[in-house]
Structure 1
Amino acid sequence: MTDDGRLDLERLDECLSSRTRLVAVTGMSNVLGTINPIKSFDRGGSGVGALVLVDGAQSVPHAAVDVSNPQVDFLAFSGHKLYGPSGVGVLYGRREWLEQMDPFLCGGNMISEVGMTESTWAELPAKFEAGTLPVAQAIALGTAVDYVNGVGFDEIGRIEQALLAEAQQRLSEFPRIC
């Protein structure tokens, strides 16, 4: 990490080894406000080839996330950070990786065929949907996504900048706050 809290891409190779399977990074820090340069992330020049998971919980409500970026294998965010309900979220994964993965939970319609000695998983995304899904929360999350897209990220950014300017102005009125 750099002194200002960003990913230190210059030193990334030092952190990776042949045993590294997954690199999890935050897209935007809720602590420092830093926005990490995910598009510049190259999985390490050493050719380690680890998968990359981006924690988009803080960034998704503020900026469009380009999952076609070849540096992003997985993207995760919770619904409540996007003005949606709690208890539901999104885990995006590249099809090539999701097809290779086995589910870690069982239930529902995630199995296509069952035999005496083997079974076949259902097609994506059903093979990862164990048990009863939180249907109401999923519908509400879709509505929250529609709302954010309707407002637009340019407008969201404009509002955030106006709020920041007002907060800075009001805080500057207090002599002990720098």
Structure 2
Amino acid sequence: MKKILAIKSSINGANSISNKLIDEVLSLNDNSNTTVRDLGAAPLPHLSQHEMGAWMATVDQITPEQRELKAISDAVVEEVKAADVILIGLPMYNFAVPSNFKSWIDRLARAGVTFNYTENGPVGLLDDKPVYVIATRGGKYHGTPMDSQTQFIKDVFAFVGLKNVNFVYVEGLAMGEADTAIANAQSALSIAL
């Protein structure tokens, strides 16, 4: 039985196509082995220098406040480590990933925890596992210079050791193509997982 980590990043709650697609995938699996982190409903704060300092504090230096801040990143990292499969709902907002998702990434990428710098460059420390990204977009951007998400996601996950990144594009949602795009995504996701 696979342990699934589902990350929702839409701010549209129940009206979100990416959230609905994640819920459909999860309904086909044993939910007792699923962790859902809804960044739209419970966003992480933007990363601060104070929080990063907490990651580097030694056990005898860390303050109670820093311990709470460090726990945010620790939880993100542990959820990723514990999962066998990661499922991400990723709408495109203004040609980028949602800021709440960037805040999640900022907690995941930690020197000495999920990656190390070496003389040959950075090396990811996480065990590779499949990552499925449901990329929902009002327009059509896949394969064009305006697709700022795909390479960013591949790069940041490879940076921490996750190289098996797969995309399901759900595009043209604001162009009258929602039904077809959603049906194609449902088919691709049922085969993938």
Do the two structures share a fold, i.e. TM-score over 0.5? no
Q: Counting helix residues as a fraction of each chain, which structure ranks higher? A: 2
Give the TM-score taking structure 2 as reference length: 0.26
Q: Counting strand residues as a fraction of each chain, which structure ranks higher? A: 2
Higher relative contact order (CA 8 A, sep 6+): 2
Bigger radius of gyration among the two = 1
